[in-house]
Amino acid sequence: MRRTTGNRRAWAEFGGLLREARELRGTESREFSLRRVAQRIDVEPAYLSKIERGEVAPPSEEKIRALARELDQDPDVLLAVAGKVSEELREIIRRRPREFGELLRQLRNAPDHAILRIARQVRDGKW
Amino acid sequence: MRRTTGNRRAWAEFGGLLREARELRGTESREFSLRRVAQRIDVEPAYLSKIERGEVAPPSEEKIRALARELDQDPDVLLAVAGKVSEELREIIRRRPREFGELLRQLRNAPDHAILRIARQVRDGKW
DNA sequence: GGTAGTGTGTAGTACATAGTACACATGCGA
DNA sequence: TCGCATGTGTACTATGTACTACACACTACC
């Protein structure tokens, strides 16, 4: 395992978030030991341990999604903390790079509520 | 170079687009031979040759941007054909994954003009 | 007919990504 | 006290990404 020691801080943030979420659930249920969770998302316990301690980079999108399900987290947020953007969203952009490029750059500094309001308006057919 | 023969078709589309654009300019100017362009974007000629023939995967974002400048192409489009999304746009999404995730999914099937109209309205301060 | 420029074939490199496998020490309950 | 579960250290692997370096054949020009 290559360490590339320089993203360690970012990895630790992701790992810390996971551990916190897991330990929260672990206090009540015993189904949330590191080993149990590792088994359910289909990775080796040692690997999940290293992820949680930020010793290695965050895992693949697939595993991050599985973790989000297990620990009841927002997948998009977890992916973002891991430094990733979901393949689903990248696909949407790749299909119309000009349009979405333009839109995203215009909205870069818009307030959260403005972005969400637009999303709502689109959903309600107001476009 | 690992070939992973299965994305070859996608690579060829990217390469073909490059070659076409380059040869178009090459008919008039002689500054657009494969070797000259390769030198300007700082890669080996053999490498650019393989890229244009779709024998290897598209190069890094940096090189794709350089090619877009040289050949007067839209970088976002060239990146998209290469199967990539620019780091700039990914950054925008990672900062507010919930908001932009929601927005992009709502706009997935919206017509082009609707997306561009929203971008225009945002630019004009109508939000 | 040399030489300058053209595109391409072959081989190899360094680093990133995404993990596995096994052994070990510690602690907790019955 | 013994067995089982817990988290973790160490070593290793396969594949992907992004290239370089060099040699070769062809053509075009003067």
User: B3 pLDDT exceeds 60?
Assistant: no
> How far apart, in whole angstroms, are the C-alpha atoms of residue B37 and residue B34?
5
Q: How far apart (Å, rounded) are the C-alpha atoms in residues A91 and B32? A: 32
Question: How high is the pLDDT of residue B65?
Answer: 98
For chain A, what percent of residues have pLDDT higher than 70? 94
Instruction: Choose among B84, B95, B116: nearest Cβ to A102.
Output: B116
User: What's the mean per-residue pLDDT of chain A?
Assistant: 94
Model confidence at B61: pLDDT above 90:
yes
Report the C-alpha gap between A99 and A115 in whole angstroms. Answer: 16
Distance from C-alpha of A65 to C-alpha of A87, rounded to nearest angstrom = 11
CB contact under 8 A, B105 and A92: yes
* Largest Cα span, chain B: 51
Cβ of A76 and B85 within 8 Å? Answer: no
The C-alpha atoms of residue A73 and residue A91 are separated, in whole angstroms, by 22
Q: What is the pLDDT of residue A29?
A: 84
Which one of B79, B95, B97 has the shortest CB-CB distance to A79? B97
Residue in B85, B106, B114 nearest the CB of A93: B85
- Contact by Cβ (8 Å): B34, B43: no
Q: Are B59 and B51 contacting, i.e. CB atoms less than 8 angstroms apart?
A: yes
Mean pLDDT, residues A50-60 taken together: 98
pLDDT tens column, A85-124: 999 999 999 999 999 999 999 999 999 999 999 999 999 9
Which residues of chain B approach chain A closer than 8 Å at the C-beta? Answer: 74, 76-77, 79-80, 83-86, 88-90, 92-108, 110, 112, 114-119, 122-123, 127
Q: Which stretch of A48-52, A60-64, B97-101, B121-125 has the lowest confidence by average pLDDT?
A: B121-125
Name all domains of chain A by residue range, CATH numbers in brackets: 8-84 (1.10.260.40), 96-123 (no CATH)
Q: Are B41 and B70 in contact (CB under 8 A)?
A: yes
- Is A80 close to B103, i.e. CB distance below 8 A? no
Tokens 């891991």 found at: A82
Asked if pLDDT for residue B5 goes beyond 80, the answer is no
A-to-B residue pairs, Cβ atoms closer than 8 angstroms: 123
Q: Which of A40, A122, A75 is nearest to B114 (CA)?
A: A122
pLDDT of residue B1: 45
The SS3 assignment for B98 reads helix
Q: Which residues from the 41-80 window of protein chain B have CB within 7 angstroms of nucleic acid chain C?
A: 45-46, 49-50, 52-53, 55
CB contacts of A105 in chain B (<8 Å) are 88-89, 92
In this prediction, residue A14 carries a pLDDT of: 98
Alpha-helical regions (H) of B30-111: 34-40, 45-52, 61-71, 75-81, 87-95, 97-107
**pLDDT of res. A3:** 57
pLDDT in tens, B84-93: 999 999 999 9
Distance CA A55, CA A36 (A): 20
Give the residue among B79, B98, B81, A7 at the shortest CA–CA distance from B89.
B79
